Structure 1
Amino acid sequence: MRVIVVEDDPDVRGAVVAALRSAGFAVDEVANWSQADLSMSVNDYDCLILDRVLPEGDSADHLYQRRQAGMAVPAIMLTALDDISHRVEGLEAGADDYLTKPFSTDELVLRVRALCRRRTTMVPPILRVDDVTLDVARREVRRAGVLQMLTPKEFAVLETLLSRQPAVVTRTELIEHCWDERADPASNVVDVVVNQLRRKLGEPAVIFTTRGTGYWIGPPAGPP
């Protein structure tokens, strides 16, 4: 899942970004709405995390304008304004959730994950192919009932492949969805993670390659 953090305070932004990346999210970070608009014009995000008060003004006003223009990405607003009237204003402006400062980064991660799931409500809570199961809420992967210890990036790639099966997912799509702007699209990071997944999941293989395009996941009978 790929998210964007809009926060002008570098300390707060750093803590939020670190917590989200540790939880397996691909995170882009910006300091203002101008930079956010640029990023959102070229990237597809699963959630927007924004500070209520930015140098350009009240984020509630900016969010409302973008909602009116059709922006549908779920948004959670972070703020030191904890009066009930401020929370109402933020929600009425189009925020899907509202968290007051100081806040627990663990709670923020859970709220962001819930908003990301809300955007993909058609994805079932348990993703499965053959004897491989992925529990979206518990963040667990099992093969033949045995718990697999995956890194956050391996989990993200496997979740994407399972949610799109049996379609081929291109390397570019995996980069855009599972990595952030720090990733080099010309590198072999996708191939490395997929090979790690194959090794951990073992035989028979369930992840296949469509040469020159990308990867797909399916029963271990081989590509169609």
Structure 2
Amino acid sequence: MKKLVYIVLACVSVLALVNVARYMGDSSSKAPDYHSEVILTLFSMKTSSDFIINLPDTGDSVKLTSIIDLGTPHGKAQGNYQVGEERGEVLLDYMHINPLGQITADNRIYFVAPFTVSNQGSGVFTYVGLFEQDIDNQTIQHLDSYFIGDRIKLNEMRLWDSKIELSFNQHGEQQAYAEVPTETVHLTLGVDGAIPTKLLKQQDI
């Protein structure tokens, strides 16, 4: 009987240690008073939800955790990630956030913003992201991404007649990626409906 009690106690101890290890290793566990500094700074919403960027074509996601160069034209929201052995960084250019229309009847705002993804390689991949801000639930959801280019220089991004107009410099066919890109491209994007879920290319000049 004593032996059975010892076995039960040993099993309970092991389970307790496993649960503690899971809790300590779970980065998603949050303190009761946790709030996203990025969402508070950019949207004045004090919420325990995070601003998550979905890495295109991977199924992985990155939490934006800090603001760099606040109050300057180079301001970005930053997040770091590790997928397997790959480490990288995501930078959201909040200076180019553009809302799509007015607040909806159910208190949602849709907006677009460019962001870059880089890893240990030399590439810096720029995308335009489509996002939904749910004011009642105080959340930001990443809906879609449109790839712009590798190591480009964004000159301008604005809304015009419900279209997203971009001007950027990319590398020419005979130009090395180590050089500053000089070929100017104009791109217009739209969305798929009044309640947007996807970014669509409209024209390329």
Instruction: Give the number of the structure whose residues are more often strand, by fraction.
Output: 2
Q: TM-score range by the shorter chain?
A: under 0.3
Instruction: Give the number of the structure whose residues are more often helix, by fraction.
Output: 1
TM-score computed with the length of structure 1 as normaliser:
0.26
Choose 1 or 2 for highest CA Rg.
Answer: 2
Higher RCO by CA contacts (8 Å cutoff, separation 6 or greater): 1
